[in-house]
């Protein structure tokens, strides 16, 4: 009765809420990664991405100016070093409290004077100006360490992307890995589509002995684990000399992607109107002409659907690249492998990791949103008669 009265049933509301929750679970990490890629390392350490638009509280460890180069003789064996701790470190923020020991953070208020013992003192003002006084032994050697409790304004920068993509001194080579990934992905997406399109047409519209058995074999190959074929296929590639280059990884992705491609395209082509095919044959068109002039244009949704899947799989692949794209020099390193290496070499540089990760997912996101309208149409091919 509620439905008849124009009110949505509870199951509809539950379904809508579930969809919104799933979208949020997928969107929030991506949004967080995107925001973090524009933040500095200090900001990422101090606060989460959700508070990036607000000032953040953090503790900084800074040393005052070098006493050997900046000390001033006050007479009577007393020396002084003065300056501005914010200007010296090129820092913007508001000082809340400070201390001279990691065990007593925030011990002094801005403007207070800290007694360091034996007549040595340090005064730090709210604007960062400091005065450090002591005798000759105290005002020498290593500079005094200061722990600051500060509030920093939101800070966003493009330097992370400049370093990852354009910095010539970037030894991690993310830009090179980006183009290496494109070199792998584009042929590994186009080749199986070309082969699968011909095979799907033959299985859908051409009569030959063993067609049903061949279709059953292709369906069976869909459940074969990729890992099961890695070692035998690598041994074959090494035997014929293509086991350590792009050709080997192209053929590997082609072989692993063909069963789904043929199955998906064949289901779509079977659902095309038979009258069009028969009329073309009556007019004298060959199978090749029918395939290129009729079937391919009508099958674009299915082709685009598989292209999305294959592109995403190959772009995000790490296992096949590690096995079939062996290169000790790093000349053919793909982005997934490069990010794994970054975790080891730059495990503390969260801003670089976040930027590299977002660069890695930006292209798949663009491809998916550009072609998503064809995805459902291709997946539902053959499901309704």
State the sign of the Cα–Cα–Cα–Cα dihedral 190, 196, 200, 202.
positive
Q: What is the pLDDT of residue 7?
A: 64
Residue with tokens 């660069």: 359
pTM of the shown model: 0.70
The answer to whether residue 187 scores a pLDDT higher than 60 is yes
Per-residue pLDDT reduced to its tens digit, 205-257? 888 888 889 888 888 888 888 888 888 888 888 888 887 788 888 999 998 89
pLDDT on residue 197: 92
> Domain spanning 163-379 has what CATH number?
1.10.3720.10
Task: Provide the pLDDT confidence category of residue 1 given band limits of 50, 70 and 90.
Answer: very low
Averaged pLDDT, 143-167? 82
The residue extents of the domains of the chain are: 10-52, 56-152, 163-379
Quote the CA–CA distance of 324 and 364 in Å, as a whole number: 22
Nearest-CA neighbor of 301 among 248, 353, 372, 242? 372
Helix, strand, or coil here: 155? coil
* Nearest CA-CA partner of 87 in 113, 70, 106, 62: 62
pLDDT value of residue 384: 47
Kind and range of the H or E run holding 197: helix 174-205
| Residue 22: both structure tokens together | 């799933």
Q: Is the pLDDT of residue 192 over 90?
A: yes
Taking all residues of the chain, what is their mean pLDDT, rounded to a whole number?
A: 82
> Is residue 153 very low, low, confident or very high in pLDDT (cuts 50, 70, 90)?
confident
Question: What is the rounded average pLDDT of the residues 275-280?
Answer: 86
- How would you label 73-108 residue by residue, b for 16+ Cβ within 10 Å and e otherwise? eeeeeebbbeebbbeeeebebebebbbbeeeeeeeb
314-361 pLDDT per residue, tens: 998 888 888 888 765 667 788 888 887 777 666 567 788 888 888 888
3-state secondary structure of 295: helix
């Amino acid at each position: 009765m509620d439905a008849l009265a124009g009110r949505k049933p509870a199951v509809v509301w539950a379904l809508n809420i579930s969809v919104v929750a799933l979208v949020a679970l997928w969107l929030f990490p991506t949004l967080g990664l995107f925001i973090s890629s524009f933040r500095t390392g200090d900001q990422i350490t101090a606060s989460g991405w959700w508070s990036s638009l607000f000032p953040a509280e953090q503790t900084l460890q800074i040393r005052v100016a070098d006493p050997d180069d900046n000390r001033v003789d006050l007479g009577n064996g007393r020396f002084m070093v003065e300056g501005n701790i914010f200007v010296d470190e090129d820092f913007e923020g508001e000082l809340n409290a400070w201390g001279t020991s990691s065990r007593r953070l925030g011990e002094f208020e801005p403007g207070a004077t800290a007694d360091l013992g034996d007549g040595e003192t340090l005064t730090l003002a709210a604007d960062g100006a400091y005065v450090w006084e002591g005798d000759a032994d105290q005002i020498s050697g290593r500079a005094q360490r200061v722990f600051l409790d500060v509030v920093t304004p939101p800070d966003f920068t493009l330097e992370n992307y400049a370093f990852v993509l354009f910095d010539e001194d970037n030894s991690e080579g993310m830009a090179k890995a980006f183009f290496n990934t494109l070199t792998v992905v584009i042929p590994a997406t186009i080749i199986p589509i070309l082969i699968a399109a011909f095979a799907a047409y033959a299985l859908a519209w051409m009569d030959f002995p063993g067609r049903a058995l061949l279709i059953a074999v292709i369906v069976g190959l869909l459940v074969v684990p990729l890992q099961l074929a890695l070692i035998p296929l690598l041994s074959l590639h090494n035997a014929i000399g293509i086991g350590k280059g792009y050709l080997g990884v192209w053929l590997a992705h082609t072989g692993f992607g063909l069963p789904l491609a043929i199955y998906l395209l064949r289901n779509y082509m079977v659902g095309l109107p038979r009258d069009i095919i028969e009329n073309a044959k009556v007019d004298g068109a060959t199978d090749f002409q029918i395939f290129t002039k009729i079937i391919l244009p009508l099958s674009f949704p299915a082709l685009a659907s598989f292209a999305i899947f294959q592109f995403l799989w190959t772009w995000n692949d790490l296992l096949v690249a590690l096995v079939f794209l062996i290169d000790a020099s790093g000349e053919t390193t793909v982005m997934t492998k490069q990010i794994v290496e970054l975790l080891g070499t730059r495990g503390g540089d969260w801003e670089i990791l976040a930027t590299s990760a977002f660069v890695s997912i930006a292209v798949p996101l663009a491809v998916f949103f550009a072609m998503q309208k064809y995805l459902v149409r291709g997946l539902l091919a053959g499901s309704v008669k």
